[in-house]
Amino acid sequence: MLLKTRKNVINAGLIHAGADGDGAAQVRADARQAGEARQLRQRQVHLARRAAELEAADIADEVARQLALIHQALGEAPKAKSMVQRGLELEPEHPALRQALAGLGGA
């Protein structure tokens, strides 16, 4: 039986341990299992957050390119160049951003 917290596992083990002493080994095994499950949940949350960050970065470079085009159309070349450079910080090899930077007089 997998319990949610180490405290619950220990409390449950003390109740079931009784006088036979065999319960102590089970308490340790349950506590270890609960700790491993908690670590797996933490890792899952971390990976989900990282995936979201990577997806956001994937979209962000294209958003930067689109904003640069808007600034350029409004005659705001310095802002357009700034947006392109921000996009290139996220994705240095993005071909459309490199082309846009060259069109704005960047390197």
In which band, very low, low, confident or very high, does the pLDDT at 45 lie, cut at 50, 70 and 90? confident
Q: With DSSP H G I counted as helix, E B as strand and the rest as coil, what are the percentages for the chain, rounded to 5?
A: 80, 0, 20
In the predicted model, what is the mean pLDDT of residues 40-44? 84
20-29, Cβ contacts within 8 angstroms, sequence gap of 24 or more: none
In which band, very low, low, confident or very high, does the pLDDT at 13 lie, cut at 50, 70 and 90? low
Q: Give yes or no for residue 6 having a pLDDT over 60.
A: no
Structure tokens belonging to residue 13: 């083990």
Q: What is the pLDDT of residue 78?
A: 92
Cβ neighbours around 68 below 10 Å, total: 27
